[in-house]
């Protein structure tokens, strides 16, 4: 990696994490790198991912090929980053673990509505600098915000009343979005989304995958709402994703529900691909009803 360039901290972190993703997936020169899959896994939008991949192309690590996409051409032995980058960025695994711990403790109401970086650093035994990219990431997802002057506050809450209202609302708007006159998805989106789901299902389930699970799931629902061509559907579903993040990052349903959830997604994709949008709409309603029942059980007296 050419460390003489002026890279932002975010670009350095993304480059580091993209290379960790490539190694974790066991990719080899000639393999295609799925931009959307990386964005979902890292919980960021595709724009900064695209920029990071362009930087990696400048260093001969990847190559953009017309009609093919981004292809891995070389994986440096040192990970392609300098010492400075490694000092600035915590490992992807450690960052995911911290995000999951914050989400879990917020979901359990062990964290109050407001907090400071100093408090979190002491609570988790990490340097304050290690929390900065995590807080930036959570703020970018609309889960927290910086208070005027000092400290941070959480923006989301999740209880049985909100769960019921959320799913009733989603069961109205998400099936309807698929029936909008302007609804349209590309062949590339269908292929990329199916590939991301299939890749996830091939992996052995571990609890630290819950963040990536939620982001993959949220992207599916948000992308379909956006495909309606109606900005109000799109923004409504994005708001619902923001509301659910902390509770769903603390995934408690295990591998079986992961498989069922993604299998239901694949059935919706199949119906869309066949042009049977009425069927896709019905499947979406059933999918949300099943998810509602599963989520509501978490808040029942028997589950507590």
pLDDT at residue 90 in the model: 42
Task: Tally the residues of the chain.
Answer: 304
| Band of pLDDT at residue 173, cut at 50, 70 and 90 | very high
pLDDT at residue 226 in the model: 93
Question: pLDDT, tens digit, for every residue of 236-266?
Answer: 998 898 888 877 777 766 788 889 999 999 9
| Band of pLDDT at residue 93, cut at 50, 70 and 90 | low
Question: pLDDT, tens digit, for every residue of 28-59?
Answer: 777 788 888 888 777 777 788 888 888 888 77
pLDDT more than 90, % of the chain: 32
pLDDT at residue 265 in the model: 97
* Of 304, 300, 40, 294, the residue nearest 167 (C-alpha): 294
DSSP for residue 150: S
pLDDT at residue 25 in the model: 75
CA dihedral 263, 267, 268, 272 (to 10 degrees): 140
pLDDT at residue 68 in the model: 67
**Angle, CA of 141, 182 and 284, to the nearest 5°:** 60
145-168: burial string, b at 16+ Cβ within 10 Å, e else: eeeeeeebebbbebeeeebeebbe
Most confidently predicted of 84-98, 128-142, 166-180, 203-217: 166-180
Q: What is the mean pLDDT of the chain?
A: 82
pLDDT at residue 79 in the model: 41
Q: Residue 157 pLDDT more than 50? A: yes
Question: pLDDT, tens digit, for every residue of 121-151?
Answer: 999 998 888 888 788 878 877 788 999 988 9
């Amino acid at each position: 990696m050419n460390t003489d360039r002026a890279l932002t901290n975010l670009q350095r972190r993304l480059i580091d994490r993209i290379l960790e993703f490539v190694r974790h997936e066991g990719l080899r020169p000639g393999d295609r790198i799925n931009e959307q899959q990386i964005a979902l896994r890292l919980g960021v939008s595709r724009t900064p991912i695209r920029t990071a991949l362009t930087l990696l192309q400048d260093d001969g690590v990847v190559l953009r090929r017309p009609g093919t996409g981004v292809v891995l051409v070389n994986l440096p032995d040192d990970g392609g980053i300098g010492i400075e980058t490694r000092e600035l960025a915590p490992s992807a695994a450690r960052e995911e673990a911290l995000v999951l711990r914050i989400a879990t403790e917020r979901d359990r109401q062990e964290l109050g509505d407001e907090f400071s970086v100093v408090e979190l650093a002491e609570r988790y035994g990490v340097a304050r600098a290690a929390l900065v990219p995590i807080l930036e990431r959570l703020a970018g997802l609309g889960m927290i915000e910086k208070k005027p002057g000092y400290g941070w506050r959480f923006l989301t809450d999740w209880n049985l009343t909100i769960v019921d209202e959320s799913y009733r609302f989603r069961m109205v708007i998400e099936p309807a979005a698929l029936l909008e006159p302007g609804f349209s998805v590309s062949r590339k989106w269908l292929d990329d989304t199916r590939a991301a789901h299939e890749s996830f299902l091939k992996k052995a389930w571990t609890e630290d995958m819950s963040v990536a699970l939620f982001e993959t799931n949220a992207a599916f629902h948000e992308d379909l709402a956006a495909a309606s061509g109606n900005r109000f559907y799109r923004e409504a579903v994005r708001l619902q994703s923001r509301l659910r993040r902390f509770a769903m990052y603390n995934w408690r349903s295990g591998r079986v529900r992961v498989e069922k959830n993604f299998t239901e997604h694949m059935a919706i994709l199949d119906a869309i691909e066949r042009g049977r949008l009425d069927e896709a709409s019905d499947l979406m309603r059933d999918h949300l009803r099943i998810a509602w029942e599963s989520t509501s059980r978490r808040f029942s007296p028997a589950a507590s």
